[in-house]
Amino acid sequence: MAMVTANGIRHHVQQMAAKDTVLGEAPVVVFIHGLCIDSLASFYFTLAAPTSAAGFEVLAYDMRGHGRSEKPATGYRLSDFVEDLHELLNEMDVHRPVHLVGNSFGGTVAFSYAVAHPERVASVVMIETGPATEDWSTELGAVLERAKQLEDPEVITAIEDTYDPHTLRRAKSLRDGLRNTTIAREVPSGPLLSAEQIESVECPVLAIYGGDSIQAALHAKPLQRLLPRCRAEIVPNASHWVLVEAPQAVRDLLLPWVSEHEANASLLLEGASA
């Protein structure tokens, strides 16, 4: 298991080399998972292998407080996750501008990263989320507030009676994660992005939503108002977990997207050396 220290945190990293690389440097795709009960596994077992087979370098990592990465008690603002990603790319010598693909909160991290370090991002793909706006913060805060109910032993008993052992274990692990760290309090605090910051993103942005989720209604229109060139796609009959429910559909959107926008990576590199 590869561990890379970035921004003072030991991060669990998984890489897959590009297969059948055509001439030149392979595009780099970075997968960023979602909050609390998610880990790099969601990407590792769905999109990572097909992305590598398509001729792209794959980098997936567990964010701080998640999966096999270090779990500090505090330090869970959005800016901490953005800085982690920046240092991780530097530590791993990834200097070619990357295609960031983030699931849920990971997509929000990806977008904030593109605001902070536009020269390092060839494109952004956000799955089931939007940029860190006031509305994003309010909705996420409410979700995390509801998760606090897991502290009530009766709620845990009800889950035990109603669901399978796997769900129970995930609920307990979520409860413990929220209890042992300040993640629930810190994440919604952002820092949030202004309209000007959102409008400043020049790289191509693709937003993918599950047709049965509320996220498209929350984020798609406001995002397209600020970023008219942003493309939004809805995968029918899928929930917030569209990535694991319909990986084929997400893959069919992602792979052509990376090929289409890889030229942007070269343009950014030329701009940097000019």
User: Which residues contact another protein (rule: CB under 8 A)?
Assistant: 1, 14, 16, 39-42, 44-50, 53, 62, 67-68, 164-166, 169-170, 173, 244-245, 247
Nearer to another protein, 186 or 245 (CB): 245
CB of 33 to another protein, least distance (A): 10
Nearer to another protein, 135 or 212 (CB): 212
Nearer to another protein, 66 or 77 (CB): 66
Contact between 68 and 12 (Cβ < 8 Å): yes
Distance in Å, CB of 133 to another protein, minimum: 30
- Nearest approach, Cβ of 100 to another protein (angstroms)? 20
Instruction: Give the phi and the psi of residue 123 in degrees, each rounded to 5.
Output: -165, 165
Nearest approach, Cβ of 46 to another protein (angstroms)?
6
- Select 219 or 240, whichever has its Cβ closest to another protein: 240
The distance of closest approach from Cβ of residue 61 to another protein in the complex, given in angstroms and rounded to an integer, is 11
Stated as kind and residue range, the H or E segment containing 198 is: helix 195-199
Cα 27 to Cα 72, 153, 211: the distances in Å are 32, 48, 29
**Residues contacting residue 137 through CB under 8 Å, at least 6 positions apart:** 188, 189, 190, 192
Minimum distance between the CB of residue 203 and another protein, rounded to whole angstroms? 27
* 177 close to 91: Cβ distance less than 8 angstroms: no
How far apart (Å, rounded) are the C-alpha atoms in residues 95 and 93?
6
**Residue 143, number of CB atoms within 10 A of its CB:** 13
Compute the residue count for the chain. Answer: 274
AA letter at 195: A
Backbone angles phi, psi at 120, to 5 degrees: -105, 0
Q: Give whichever of 88 and 122 is closer to another protein, judged by the CB atom.
A: 88
The residues that bridge with 31 in the sheet, in sequence order, are: 60, 101
In the bound state with another protein, the residue whose beta carbon lies nearer, of 160 and 199, is: 160
* Minimum CB distance to another protein smaller for 90 or for 248: 248
Reference 60, options 79, 83, 34; nearest CA is 34
DSSP, res 46 = I
Please report how close the Cβ of residue 103 comes to another protein at its closest, in angstroms: 13
Beta-bridge mates of residue 123: 99
